[in-house]
Copies of this chain bind each other. A is one copy, B any other.
């Protein structure tokens, strides 16, 4: 029990808290390809981005030089409400698994939004307020981002218009009500409120929507309303920047006790948590200072990394957003509505796509039934009821710990526990009742999605 000197939960003190975000691009040898204007095929300029994004966020989106960007004092003040997030040693899980591995998880669910999404929501709301805007528009899938943003907007007195993927809107009325309680307006997407929504509904009658559709609607609404800008909870470079607080805190907590992780695991939807958690560690790898096994875990039903193509594609289904070079299943890919997690975006963060392409990270696709089994096992011993998204990482952490059991290796495993599953109990019920199903797209399904990937701009492929 000599290890007990390492606390069950590692918290940073106020003066140990990061004062700068980490911008991985500053250290990357091969920078991610720039966002392109679909009309011109040329890189998006600050001026073009500022039509959609707040000025300062547009600048962050384009900054590939500065590895460290100061966190504004107002945001660090807000952090005091819910940060630092604890790095928890999963002693009970280790004992249950009888593994020699040491398992840690960075728990981001201990705030009212219930997930890591608040890290970027508060930053984006802050910059919108600073710019004197009236409000922001956004999309939400599982609802974590919309909840976080509605909280952040409520804090700063900003209006908040949320387009919620229809399948979630219907399956998760409680999420919707949380957002409404914080004063946000919530519209199921695709809707008849926007041109792009009406078009998508005409082309795909009865569709239950996708993040890609909802993004298109939110962007259109921001463009058409004076004093509004669009904000996005994942994929973007600025989001990876704000979420780097996760990895920076994790690294500081590990360093504080001289712990060197062997494996770092994050769940991957658009990349917000994964990028935030692994960014600082990948930076060390790039700078040649350390080596880690980094694993991205994605749902087999929406396998961007493991079965997608590394190409320029639209970030949205309506094809009104810029093009990004990323691992993508095609902007027309509409994932199975039977999947319960929020990891359903057709593409992946351009930064993480490049990191993966360059071999700093591996990826695994897992099926939802095994994910919920891992979630249940975790909940029963560690107490926390995990979000389905987070449970993808739990599943692979357990897999790796069981490998250690076989080999006897005492590896140190760190994974991101991004949030809580209070609003996912319908999915848990399916699992508890034994009626949860798995879905893996066929090659044909994928080919259909890939057919949406544009040929242009050929000159950059």
Contacts and interface: CB of A to CB of B under 8 A. Distances in A.
A114 B422 CA distance: 10
B174 A422 contact: yes
Contacts of A81: 8-9, 383
A182 interface: yes
A181 B422 contact: no
Interface in A135-192: 151, 154-155, 173-175, 177-178, 180-183
- Chain A interface size band reads 35 or more
Interface string A426-438: 1011001000000
Interface in A368-409: 375-376, 379-381, 383-385
B383 A155 contact: yes
Give the most central of A92, A422, A426: most B CB within 10 Å: A422
B432 A180 contact: yes
B428 A177 contact: yes
B383 A80 contact: no
Nearest to A427: B177
Contact of A183 (B111, B178, B380): B380
Nearest to A423: B422
27 contacts: A9-B80, A9-B81, A92-B155, A111-B383, A112-B379, A112-B383, A112-B420, A114-B422, A154-B379, A154-B380, A154-B381, A155-B383, A173-B425, A173-B429, A174-B423, A174-B426, A175-B425, A177-B425, A177-B426, A177-B428, A177-B429, A177-B432, A178-B385, A178-B425, A180-B432, A181-B375, A181-B376
Interface of A: 7-9, 80-81, 92, 110-112, 114, 151, 154-155, 173-175, 177-178, 180-183, 375-376, 379-381, 383-385, 420, 422-423, 425-426, 428-429, 432
